[in-house]
Chain A
Amino acid sequence: MTVKDWFEQRKEMQIARRDKETQIDDSIGKLWVKCYNCNTQLLRKEVEENLEVCPKCGYHFRINARTRINQLFDEGTFEEMFSNITTADPLNFTDTESYKKRINQAKAKTNMNEAVIAGIGKIDGNEVSAAIMDFEFMGGSMGSVVGEKVTLAMEEALKRKIPMIAVTASGGARMQESILSLMQMAKTSCAVAKLNEAGLLYITVLTEPTFGGVTASFATLGDIIIAEQDARIGFAGRRVIEQTIRQSLPADFQTADYLMKFGQIDIISSRAELKSTIAKLISLHKK
């Protein structure tokens, strides 16, 4: 690292910190937060203890991958794998900012090195391979790294003959890697084909939000598809559809309840019940 890099990095950290502060803009001071849904002032600690669900109205706030792992896995059992796989910039992509810079900003903002964490852990004593996405990292977009780590997690499930769990949160494929991102849809879906052929249970948990290339690949290929309460799930974004058909959409369009009504998902689970639901499904599939 040169001294110039050091200053560049410090600047990015400062930007990221500012971003974080605007996010907690809804909060009143450090101890209080406000629910977007019911407008109630809540103690931050109380919300945390309630799995980041509003104690007043039950609205499920978006959570990051690490929080999800803490909630879902038996304490101390999750071991992260494949974290050595990190983002390249194969197309040398620049829009209004360079891809390299966007990646560095996302890293600083989230303390993650990509939009997914893969690993092995236990859910109520059941060993599973898992991939957990993080929307905070570039909108949970799927580029080469996400595709590779999801595929490796599936291959790990195959190796160990254990169930595979994918928790999705994504705006879709990552545009900055263009065609390479598109091909991650094929890669991950082909890996699901292998899980199918091996007869291994694959459960997907679609969380707020799951869209685009992730919806059109491994997210909707679960043997069991669970949507977390309050999640919005779709292929095309609401705005794109409105522009195409030139009419406004129902208010509950693309919500978990809406998808349930149209037969697109198996189960809607509250965050509180998610872990026990997955554990129960795993044990029900044991011979």
Chain B
Amino acid sequence: MTILEFEKPLYEIEEKIEELKKISESSGMDVSNQLETFEKQAMEYKKELYANLTPAQRIQIARHADRPTFLDYIKLITTDFIELHGDREGSDDRAIIGGIAKINGQSIVIIGTQKGKTTKENLIYNFGMPQPQGYRKALRLFYHANKFNLPIVTLIDTPGAYPGIKAEETGQGTAIAVNLKEMAKLNVPIIAIITGEGCSGGALGLAVADRVFMLEHSYYTVISPEGCASILWRDATKADIAAQALKITSEDLLELEIIDGIIKEPLGGAHCDYEMIGNGLKNTIIKALDELKNINSTQLREERYNKFRRMGVFCQ
């Protein structure tokens, strides 16, 4: 497992405890009293550490190489998943994956951005950066959900829509814009969850939803802290300061009334306990689906409109 820089002191303590255990085993020395104290101390330290992370440290957790991906969540929270490929216009963008599945016995259309854990996987999934064709595949699946009255769940973990020549030529901006507009028109419940990185329009293009949640250590922002630092500070190394200023943590967004709730992560981050984060995610989705299922489509659309209509702070 990848150890992050700020986790190293904790890792060293845990290593020492393991060493002590081995010594006691091989020498028959009874250190159980000390061990108990040390383990308690380590736990305290761990709790303290993860309760006081800076936004920049939490971004490292959100970007952790072992963080569960969309396909991991599919296995953890759904059954009977069938992937539906392609945009019907010549592409099957792998950075966005979608299909039909069951969650708690209920059929849903589930769509998400996919990242890889290895370089090889990341080349396949383009580091979770979709092309316009990915957004158009998602749109096709949104319409499918609408046609068959299936709720939509989107899971988002992207550093942003891909900035490339082909992406511009085939309308990256337009593809995202059309999704924002068309999601407003859908008659079925939509639940969006930021699971890792929620960067810019590339994330929003799947997130015009009736309920929006964030995983505890995920972040959601108009621009990556690195991008912001290089433009406003003219210095990309000021990313930590930018991360602070941009107010991108799940708590910030809850306070700004942009999201509806936070899904707690295991101590150390989602990658430390797949089962636990899977359960948290699943329970949140089931509860939200339950709340939304009895709202008729006209009211659902109206409430969705009003939800985003209210966003923004200005003087009057």
Contacts and interface: CB of A to CB of B under 8 A. Distances in A.
B185 A197 contact: yes
Interface in B251-294: 252-253, 256, 258
Contacts of B246: 91, 175, 178-179
Given A187-B311, A190-B208, A216 B184 contact: no
A148 B173 CA distance: 20
Contacts of A94: 245
Interface in B3-24: none
B167 interface: yes
A186 B308 contact: yes
A193 interface: yes
Contacts of B308: 183, 186-187, 190
A73 B172 CA distance: 32
Interface in B190-238: 200-201, 204-205, 207-208, 220-223, 227-228, 231-234
Contact of A264 (B174, B200, B201): B174
Interface residues of A, number: 62
A15 interface: no
Interface stretch (A61-69, A236-244, A267-275): A236-244
A235 B188 CA distance: 29
Interface in A205-240: 212-213, 215-221, 234-237, 240
A85 B164 CA distance: 37
B314 A87 contact: yes
Contacts of A264: 169, 171, 174
Interface string A182-202: 111111011111101100000
Interface residues of B, number: 56
B181 interface: yes
B309 A190 contact: yes
B172 A235 contact: yes
Given A86-B315, A95-B232, A235-B167, A182 B184 contact: no
Contacts of A129: none
Contacts of B304: 190
B309 A173 contact: no
Contacts of B172: 216, 235-236
25 contacts: A88-B313, A91-B246, A91-B247, A143-B312, A145-B312, A173-B222, A175-B222, A178-B248, A180-B312, A181-B222, A182-B201, A183-B311, A186-B204, A186-B308, A189-B208, A190-B305, A193-B305, A197-B185, A215-B173, A216-B174, A216-B177, A235-B168, A240-B163, A244-B163, A264-B174
Interface of B: 161-165, 167-174, 176-178, 180-182, 184-185, 200-201, 204-205, 207-208, 220-223, 227-228, 231-234, 242, 245-248, 252-253, 256, 258, 304-305, 308-309, 311-316
